[in-house]
Structure 1
């Protein structure tokens, strides 16, 4: 964080200082909400959660080096007391962003946000110091905490923005106003909460509505291959730059193919030139993510060659997202268990099919949450797709939604033991331990609440007879 005195912070957030002997003392380390992340010079933000009250850790964090606590009540140690901690955190982030000389890039979409954010960050940091959202901390708490990690040296600030309703992204853009806004796609993630894809498009488009005009440097980067996203061009005063695989896209891919190991390769074409890319990530769906990142980098002045080199060197920065590990016995585990929606589930299955050419493939799948009335149809469709892609065996894990996955596979033509429904993660582990053989490829994917990452971890521990080589 840029250095700010406690007196200045109190003024910015409209708070009262308590037990602070010297208000000129500065916060010089990250602002954190987890007591385990406190460093000397930190400001600790005390949130009241369902199970834990951050105020209870006030003395502990000050002893660990925090200069003060941002709190909603006095805590007996140096504190800035405010009426609402979340509102105060947002106000502090807005103040810091205004002070920075950094270019703020924001992105949203129904699927691929975190993977694309990681690609953008890796491309831009090859050019200049870059701060970006860790993992998928893309809400009204995670976003300002990320912004507050920026320092005087930061030149690019890349922020992922999530939404669970109309107005959410508008609020986030008020906290951290972007100059460049990227919309990836409009899918069916959280459709049960939004009520339909048109409502999702309305919410995602709040990002481009918040951008400055083209004359002021605003740029909206839109997916030309998604009609609902492309239509957002009419909702912004910013310059519009299209990315996609069609000829009309300003930044596009030609000669898209997959390597023998399932990694995408293509010719990157930008208005400033073209260059070849071979990615380290797995699955053709990363081509669209890479094009989005390339469009951002092009807008910020990078050449096609610079962008292609950075994309070819980029890896996965966030855990449990197409995390590919090969066991010593030749079994490959693809841990994509962080989250799931219909679009990302289809992309993962296609990646599995590409990686498994000539090998036996397993899809260990669980519930996709928050689909509302679309849940039955979407789970059925994923089960059917597994069969169409010739996945060797579908293991559907969990309750009702998992049974719909298995039923879809059965109705598409799966029979015998090609698809099976098991009750929980441990049952899946037991099955796989008994049936996996060298050369098999196993995809593990479900919504975060299912916790299927435990299946991938157990399978890696099973095969850990010596070094496990992560690719």
Structure 2
């Protein structure tokens, strides 16, 4: 785009000469020649302070509230809003050229499903799918701006922390296919109730046109209840007999990976997943439904699902140390549903002992204490041999495990990551499998990395 086109799209000025030939970036450290640098304001630093660095790296211009003589600037009141408007203008142009956009939301499993779907679609055409969890008002526009005229499929992950958030993301890039995975307890403290979460997640299907497709998880009543809220065709997925796209004959191998028969219409195709955990079957079905809605054939979808690898970090990363201890790093985030899914995956892995190192789950509101206590009970029911609750906010997990009958010494509380590492260094032996999981704010991925380092060369 010319900088004149950029300025018109974002409503900024003045209009410098030049053309963006590279990418759009918000990080001055990643700027390359021809890029457009978006100077975002932050709590600690202002992106405008890095305009000279962006200029030195070859940026052609910047979107900023505070111009600098080092670089041509399009001045805007709100760089985040301007980023969204720029992405919207680019998306409208690409959609007119035939781009198929697929949006995914849900309380859990968004990133895993996005990773599966992106790999499946890539077998049918050029696909843009974001790394990690680029699912907010900054990450989603940046994902859109990674697409170009050669892109056939655009996969967007859509997160929400309140009503109107997903609707706003859909105004940046309206999907042709909308996938809703589940309605759980993530951010329950902010939404107030599961019904409130369902209202917010359903904004995705409300944004679809009559020519679009809503892919709904029939195994979740609140998701299935979104069907009347959309003008689009509804395609259901699930384990139930009535689902349009369903899994039959589900079985786990000795590495915790699921195989099943993908059934849709009169077609049956074998799938053998390479991601860990039975909960991935639901994610795979949602990805399959979206790919089918985008025009892929069932056999091709099944083959691509069977070839798809884990992509995003800290999500059921299974690593065996040299000393024979296996570390399962699922520490990117946590809510009650994803915790139970991770415990079920742990139970499916062969092990001498199963150890669950669990931190707190954030943003659960008034139900937080009860949910943590329930999690401890769930860990015992899943056959966990040792529960380690990390941090003051997680003590209820150990309390629940003890109340559920965990023997003395099999449910312990430690104050922080350092104490957890010290304990685990002493007790882990070859053949043990240790799951590490908590909400992102507690940083237990650092503990998982420490545990892997502790086993190096032993």
- TM-score (structure 2 length as normaliser): 0.98
How far apart are the structure 1 equivalents of 2:292 and 2:78? 40
How far apart are the structure 1 equivalents of 2:57 and 2:347? 50
Which residue in the other structure is 1:432 paired with? 424
How far apart are the structure 1 equivalents of 2:231 and 2:176? 12
How far apart are the structure 1 equivalents of 2:56 and 2:356? 48
Kept in 2: contact 1:273–1:303 (CA 8 A) = no
How far apart are the structure 2 equivalents of 1:124 and 1:304? 12
Instruction: Tell me if 1:465 matches 2:457.
Output: yes
Instruction: Tell me if 1:74 matches 2:67.
Output: yes
1:116-161 deviation line (CA, Å, top 9, x unaligned): 0110101001111111122112111111111001011100000000
Choose the corresponding residue for 2:382, options 386, 389, 396. 389
How far apart are the structure 1 equivalents of 2:35 and 2:420? 44
Which residue in the other structure is 2:322 paired with? 328
1:302-360 deviation line (CA, Å, top 9, x unaligned): 2222111111111111100001111111111100001000000000000001013x521
Kept in 2: contact 1:272–1:304 (CA 8 A) = no
Instruction: Tell me if 1:319 matches 2:309.
Output: no
Kept in 2: contact 1:272–1:303 (CA 8 A) = no
How far apart are the structure 2 equivalents of 1:228 and 1:30? 39
Which residue in the other structure is 1:51 paired with? 44
Choose the corresponding residue for 1:204, options 201, 206, 222. 201
Choose the corresponding residue for 1:190, options 187, 190, 204. 187
How far apart are the structure 1 equivalents of 2:136 and 2:266? 35
454-463 or 272-281, which deviates more: 272-281
SS class of match (2:209): coil
- Unaligned 5+ runs, structure 2: none
SS class of match (2:196): helix
Kept in 2: contact 1:17–1:78 (CA 8 A) = no
Instruction: Tell me if 1:412 matches 2:408.
Output: no
Deviation at 1:457, TM superposition (A): 0.5
Instruction: Tell me if 1:273 matches 2:267.
Output: yes
Choose the corresponding residue for 2:250, options 256, 259, 276. 256
How far apart are the structure 2 equivalents of 1:305 and 1:12? 42
Kept in 1: contact 2:100–2:294 (CA 8 A) = no
Which residue in the other structure is 1:60 paired with? 53
How far apart are the structure 1 equivalents of 2:424 and 2:367? 30
Which residue in the other structure is 2:279 paired with? 285
Kept in 2: contact 1:106–1:160 (CA 8 A) = yes
How far apart are the structure 2 equivalents of 1:150 and 1:437? 48
Deviation at 1:272, TM superposition (A): 5.6
Deviation at 1:376, TM superposition (A): 0.8
Choose the corresponding residue for 1:337, options 316, 321, 331. 331
Which residue in the other structure is 1:469 paired with? none
How far apart are the structure 1 equivalents of 2:219 and 2:409? 38
- TM-score (structure 1 length as normaliser): 0.95
How far apart are the structure 2 equivalents of 1:404 and 1:30? 47
How far apart are the structure 2 equivalents of 1:233 and 1:349? 31
Deviation at 1:454, TM superposition (A): 1.1
Kept in 2: contact 1:166–1:203 (CA 8 A) = yes
Deviation at 1:281, TM superposition (A): 0.7
SS class of match (2:154): strand
Which residue in the other structure is 1:33 paired with? 26
1:226-257 deviation line (CA, Å, top 9, x unaligned): 00000100000100000000110000000011
Instruction: Tell me if 1:141 matches 2:135.
Output: no
- What is the root-mean-square deviation in Å for CA atoms of aligned residues? 1.0
Report the number of matched residues: 454
How far apart are the structure 2 equivalents of 1:96 and 1:424? 46
Moved over 3 A (4+): none
Instruction: Tell me if 1:455 matches 2:452.
Output: no
